[in-house]
Amino acid sequence: MTAPDEGYSIHEHVFERREMVSTLDALAKAELARTKAGARHVLAVPAVRELANDRRLIDLAATFVGPDPIPFRATLFDKSASSNWLVVWHQDTALPLRSRVDDPEWGPWSLKADVLYAHAPAWALETVVALRVCLDDSTGSNGPLRVLPNTHLKGVLSDDQIEKLANEIPPIDCVAPSGGAVAMRPLTVHASSKSSDDQPRRVLHIEYSAATVLGAGIELVIG
How do residues 146-173 score in pLDDT, each as one tens digit? 999 999 999 999 999 999 999 999 999 9
Cα atoms in the Cβ-side hemisphere of radius 13 Å centred on 127: 19
Rounded CA Rg of the chain = 17
CB 193 within 8 A of CB 53: no
Which of 119, 184, 178 has its CA nearest to residue 145? 184
**pLDDT per residue as tens, the chain (223 positions):** 334 579 999 999 999 999 999 999 999 999 888 877 789 999 999 999 999 999 999 999 999 999 999 999 999 999 876 676 678 999 999 999 999 999 999 999 999 888 999 999 999 999 999 999 999 999 988 889 999 999 999 999 999 999 999 999 999 999 999 999 999 999 999 999 887 787 888 999 999 999 999 988 999 999 8
How many residues does this entry show for the chain?
223
Supply the pTM of this predicted model. 0.93
Q: In order of start, what are the domains of the chain with their CATH numbers?
A: 4-219 (2.60.120.620)
- Nearest 5°: CA angle at 53, between 192 and 101? 70
> How far from each other are the two terminal CA atoms of the chain, in whole angstroms?
30
